[in-house]
């Protein structure tokens, strides 16, 4: 006798975007496949001002401006973050 395991998506599961839109806000998990660097490398670049600054929504929620991430993707070596977090 075999048992089948059924996986059910958690209530937090959602599809990751396949494209980035300038007017949207994205989590780290959303942008990571596009930026192709690890989280620690991204954090260092954010701190250095060479990657988009996160928008702090709450103590446990930060998002990145789609417009700023797209600008970074266009020229990651010359990108400089806006002082006001891209807003």
- With a pLDDT cut of 90, the percent of the chain lying above it is 70
13 lies in a domain?
no
Segment 12-52, tens digit of pLDDT = 566 778 899 999 999 999 999 999 999 999 999 999 999 99
8 lies in a domain?
no
DSSP 18: S
* Cut 0.85: pTM above it: no
| Number of domains the chain is built from | 1
83 lies in a domain?
no
65 lies in a domain?
yes
Cβ-based burial of 79 (10 A; exposed 0-12, middle 13-18, buried ≥19) = middle
Q: Look up the domain containing 38 and give its range.
A: 25-74
């Amino acid at each position: 006798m075999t048992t089948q395991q059924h996986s059910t998506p958690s209530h937090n599961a959602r599809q990751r975007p396949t494209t980035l839109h300038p007017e949207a806000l994205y989590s780290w998990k959303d942008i990571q496949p596009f930026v192709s660097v690890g989280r620690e490398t991204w954090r260092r670049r954010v701190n250095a001002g060479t990657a988009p600054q996160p928008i702090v929504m709450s103590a446990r929620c930060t998002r990145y401006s789609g417009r700023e991430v797209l600008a970074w993707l266009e020229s990651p070596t010359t990108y400089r973050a806006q002082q006001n977090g891209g807003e």
